[in-house]
Amino acid sequence: MEQYVAFLGNHPVLSIIWIVLAAMLLNSWFKSKFSKIRQINPQQLTLLVNRQEGQVLDMRAVKEFNQGHIAGAEQVNAEKLKQKDFAGLEKHKSKPIILVCNTGMTASAVADNMHKAGFEQVFVLSGGIGAWQNAGLPISNGK
């Protein structure tokens, strides 16, 4: 224990950085544990679509969407969703909605806003479309 105290005294900047990083890691873990928004994997996405008529909303640019997307996915404008413009999505309000972006980061923020707007079941594909492709699952090309 004395070594830790000596290290803290000898390296205050490194110690502060370490404490901040640890706090951020714990904060992230608690947020994900107690969040109403669930991160799901590609297999869980498939089950939601097949068993509960879930709707996949692809937030990537139209060009990326046309190059390859999850079958049955609907392309939505990410900028509109970031601005909390959910017009046209009310028909999916009671169904499971799975948001997909490139990495899963953009979709997480939008999912939180959708939940606050009254969407009952909002999910995010963890790892985005890359996770879907890495799992070896099919991609549809074109519209």
Render 54-89 in DSSP notation, one character per residue.
Answer: -EEEE-S-HHHHHH-B-TT-EE--HHHHHTT--TT-
Tens digit of each residue's pLDDT (9 = 90 or more) over 100-121: 988 878 888 888 888 888 887 8
Please report whether residue 142 resides in a domain. Answer: no
Q: Do 62 and 128 belong to one domain? A: yes
Please report whether residue 143 resides in a domain. Answer: no
Model confidence at 142: pLDDT above 70: no
Q: Do 52 and 120 belong to one domain? A: yes
- This prediction has a pTM of 0.75
Q: Which domain holds residue 7?
A: 2-32
d(CA 58, CA 1): 51
